[in-house]
Structure formats: C-alpha cells, structure tokens
Structure 1
Amino acid sequence: MLTVADIMTPNATTIASGATVADAIELMQQRQIRSLLVEHRSQDMPFGMVTERDIVYTVVTRGHDPKKVLVQDIMHQPCISLAPDLTIQEASQVLSDISVQRAPVVQDGRLVGVISVTDIFMRGMSVPALSR
C-alpha cells in the first residue's frame, strides 16, 4: 500500500515568516509552485503555509503593497502536518476532513516534504488500463 513518503514532494520550499509577500511571490514564480511552507521560529511551533490564493485574496484584491506585507500576516498557522508513514487513504481523509489542499510532511520534528491533493490524484491513484 502506498504511503505519504512514496508520493510526497521532498525538499519542500520554505520561506521565513518575516519575509515580505513580494519575496514569496518571487520565490513561487522562480520555482513555479503554488505554495510555500513558512518556517517555524522554534522546534515546538508548527509550520505555517502561504498559498497563491492567500496572496491574491488577502493582498492583491485589497490593494495592499506586497513589499510591505509580511508572510506571517497572511499565512495559515498552525497547518496540519502528516507523518510519512500514513497511507494515501489516511492522508486523503485528513486533508478532506480539514478542507486543505496540501500539508507538510514531518518526521521527528523535521520537515521531510510536502504532500498535496494533486500528488494524491496524479501519483497515488492507479487506474488499470482499459481493455479494447
């Protein structure tokens, strides 16, 4: 049975909570990604998450200057984290229950990757070949 570790994206891209939204936009564009994990300030704090939707709906739509808004002001925290040994079905259920699209994968307090519903859809679902 597939686990989170089998399909997660390793080496998740992170950003400091004190970075500006302009920094986040630039990093997301460079890496061609739709979200960033926000580094926690200490080991006992959870990770945060900032997405392109957060930026568009909270900054752009309201006319705020991305160079003056900090990531910590718009991020989601705490964000749920998943263990790498969870099955894909268990991970899907957790993401569904809390209505989120992605989550950091954490093992022993250390970030090991990120998993999204797109990962589950694209890599976690096996469909048998259709016979003709």
Structure 2
Amino acid sequence: TGSHLHKINLNVVSHYLLHTYVGAKPLDLVLKPSFPLEISCTISGYSNPYVYWYKWSKADGIKLKFTSLAKDLMDPSEDDGFSASRPEDLQSVLKSTRAPQSDPAVWYCAASAHSVREKVTCCTKT
C-alpha cells in the first residue's frame, strides 16, 4: 500500500573507565514516515557530563549532530528535522515531529567528562 516502516535504532555508549553509564529508552523504534519520535538518554555515575548525539547512516557514515556542555545548553538545538534538548543535568532528549522518509539510521547518545574539540594545535587539554 504505499506506507513503509523505517527502523530507527538507538545504541548505548558506555564509559566504564569513568564509571559513567549512558542508557536510552526505547532502544529500538519502528515508525511509519511522518510519525513523531522521542528518545530519552539518561546518564549516571558522573555529574555535569558533556553529552553528545551521533547519527550513523549508510550514506553519510557517523556524524556528530548535537553537543551539550551543560543543562539547558545544546548546540545546535535543531538539525535536519531533529531537535535535541537537555532538560536535566543527567538527561537528554532527541525528538522529531515527523520521522524522516530517508534511509534507516542509528543514533548514539554518549557522555564524557571531556569535551570533543577540533584540534587547533598539536595538543588540547580538556
């Protein structure tokens, strides 16, 4: 009939050396195009972490899409039909009002005690 299902996966990235755990709900979504989605990422084991959302697609590979250095700060807040927010120090939310009609993608939520910065010189201390 013309409606197709798209699977959107969310993988969990954990940092055991920092005793940090990143968990997401739901882990897998199967949506019809144009349906809304919301994924929550919860961090434990470390306060004030930096939070990142990465997107992997077959066409583009893995790309950093959103970065948050603190509660209520997200850069950018919207990108390519998705929005990310950080309403709590240890929680981030990825949303889209309409699931994209593109190839399936895998989203990764990650947390770190260190920033991911562009390399300007040989070394960067964070």
Please identify the structure whose Cα radius of gyration is greater.
1
TM-score (norm: length of structure 2): 0.32
Question: Which protein is richer in strand relative to its size?
Answer: 2
TM-score (norm: length of structure 1): 0.31
